[in-house]
Amino acid sequence: MVLNLCIGLAQLNPLVGDLEGNSHQVVLAAQQAVAGGVQLLVAPELVLWGYPPRDLLLLPSLLRRQKKVLDALAQALPEDFWVLMGVVETMGDGGECPLQNSAALVGGGSWQMVAAKRLLPSYDVFDEGRYFRPGRKPCLVEVPILGQPLRLAITICEDLWADHQKPHQPTYSCDPVAELVPLGPDVMVNLSASPFALGKHQLRQNLAADAASRLGCPVVYVNQVGGNDELVFDGNSFVVDAHGAMVLQLPSARPATNWVHLTLPQQQQQQQTAESVESAESKVQSLTITSPQGELWKALLLGLGDYARKCGFRSALLGLSGGIDSALVACVAAGALGAKQVHGLLMPSAFSSTSSIADAQELAQQLGMGTTATVSITPLLESFAQALHLPLKKRPDGVTEENLQSRIRGTLLMAMANQDGHLLLSTGNKSELAVGYCTLYGDMNGGLAVIGDLYKTDVYRLCHWLNSPDAQEQRRAAGWPTQGPLIPEAILSKPPSAELRPHQRDSDSLPDYAILDPILKQLVEHHCTPDQLIEAGEDPALVQHIWGLLRRAEFKRRQAPPVLKVSGRSFGMGWRMPIATC
């Protein structure tokens, strides 16, 4: 006996807390899927709530609303059609943690809870143990498809990540995939809300392929897409066959609904027909292969665009300095929001070079930015210096005078953002945040740190890519020139400088970024200790110097704007270091 299944993937972009709006997205995806002959549609983890809902889960009124929303959704779906979707389950047994991260099967005019997440991550940005209790048994449900029972194994996100054979994976007391093997499922689905990080997409595919091999059946992986606060979800949903071969791939960084036809022998060792695989492979081959820099670019655009849209901003403002960091932020903002919705303020001082002002103006013209204005901070700095002369008993100098310049600029930017309703974008990078080479209430001002998870060397790499022929497609999509450099070459070639004193360079205070960034990456993202780096051959004095800067800057990072997370570990939700420590 065989089962002919058309299974759909709804890669959706939910708004956290908008249960009705998110349910409407599911209905629209269902309507599209029905037209394609789909019988079962799979939506992401907690799609009804958006991920992560965090302390919204503590509001009883929202939990009560979920039942009404699911009731209405069940009535809105077509006949003989099922949706498997991520929801919250309220446990009525009086236990200490009354919620589960669950999956509901909706169809036939009703709905039921059919699975609960087994593994609750508590590392990096995840804190699910605060809200949920884990499921205690393998999750398999029979779904009637064309009069035949489909044995559907259900896993939720982290449940796929417990393979003890894989290095660098979290250690758990159970392996949900292994526990499904004796149950002989026809298909396994994984409902996910997995944030973007470079290289993570391939790891997900490897885990799914291994699960397919162990279970002897296809695996359907459906991921959330979109930006929610600091997190960017890249989508990249897919289906692999029983041999782990890719048979359907959804796009990255945008919502999509698609489906695949599977012919399933209903026995433990599953195989697809050659016809099914050939049909699906044509879809895979039609997708464009994107470079790592292209994936990073799309993630930044998605994160900024959704942050602005979901927070109610239509336009953005940033300080244009003629430096590489503000240049990249301007490019990302223009690509995400539209160039005419991005505004720049140039704030030269007596220490600003003429070339920096010209470079900033050239960039704004290249991008087609909405407006740019220039305000000299020299008279404002003089006014502050005179006002502080009496309490200080001298004119402020040294770092105090440098920070005053940054804070004057921060005040001007905040005033313009307040007046015109812009989202102010911070232009600091990860290297600066790591070592404290930034000014509180100055260049750290802003509602979002767009490149706060990119080291300085990453910034240069992405800018060079934007200027290369490899980025022609992205530049064309943004309406920018596709020939020649987008970012003026002078910006890329000049030595990095804050221009807060005569002839200043970043290298006066910091190691060269080519030396600094690899050490920072080991300390921040790989959890290395200074002793480990020294044992590996790094210079002891240099490592201890960088380690000291990293620790002493914690109080600044605690007051920084949200950082778009694009690496394995960013400053923000996943960075939980104490301020006061030895």
Taking the C-alpha atoms of residue 434 and residue 551, their distance in angstroms, rounded to an integer, is 8
262 with 187: CB under 8 angstroms? yes
Residues 129 and 186 in one domain: yes
Residues 315 and 275 in one domain: no
What is the token pair recorded at 201?
């997409």
Residues 240 and 120 in one domain: yes
Taking the C-alpha atoms of residue 16 and residue 200, their distance in angstroms, rounded to an integer, is 23
Residues 125 and 88 in one domain: yes
**Residue 53: strand, helix, or coil:** coil
CATH number at residue 106: 3.60.110.10
Taking the C-alpha atoms of residue 406 and residue 421, their distance in angstroms, rounded to an integer, is 22
Q: Is residue 328 part of a domain?
A: yes
Q: What per-residue confidence (pLDDT) applies to 269?
A: 39
Residues 214 and 328 in one domain: no
State residue 23 phi and psi, 5-degree precision.
-65, -40
Residues 277 and 400 in one domain: no
Terminal Cα distance for the chain, rounded: 67
Which residues are designated catalytic? Answer: 45, 117, 157
CATH number at residue 300: 3.40.50.620
Q: Is residue 559 part of a domain?
A: no
Residues 234 and 307 in one domain: no
Q: What per-residue confidence (pLDDT) applies to 275?
A: 35
What is the token pair recorded at 85?
């979707």
Q: What is the DSSP letter of 174?
A: -
Among the three residues 237, 266, 288, which one is the final residue of a domain in this structure?
288
Taking the C-alpha atoms of residue 438 and residue 429, their distance in angstroms, rounded to an integer, is 9
Q: Count CA within 13 A, CB hemisphere, residue 558.
A: 10
Among the three residues 269, 288, 307, which one is the final residue of a domain in this structure?
288
State residue 397 phi and psi, 5-degree precision.
-140, -175
Among the three residues 226, 253, 288, which one is the final residue of a domain in this structure?
288
Residues 432 and 493 in one domain: yes
Taking the C-alpha atoms of residue 59 and residue 47, their distance in angstroms, rounded to an integer, is 18
Q: Is residue 562 part of a domain?
A: no
Residues 253 and 362 in one domain: no
Q: Is residue 566 part of a domain?
A: no
Q: Is residue 324 part of a domain?
A: yes
Residues 138 and 233 in one domain: yes
Q: What per-residue confidence (pLDDT) applies to 164?
A: 58
Bridge partners, residue 156, by sequence: 191
Residues 224 and 339 in one domain: no
Q: Is residue 568 part of a domain?
A: no
Of 529, 385, 498, 392, nearest to 436 by C-alpha is 498
- How many domains, in total, are found in the chain? 2
Of 232, 379, 371, nearest to 301 by C-alpha is 232
Residues 78 and 51 in one domain: yes
The residue range of the domain holding 245 is 2-288
If the chain, 582 residues long, is cut into consecutive pieces of 10 residues, what is the mean pLDDT of each piece? 92 98 98 96 98 96 95 94 97 82 96 97 93 95 92 97 65 91 97 95 95 97 98 98 96 97 68 38 49 96 98 98 97 98 96 90 96 96 96 95 96 98 98 96 97 98 97 95 94 89 87 97 96 97 97 96 96 93 80
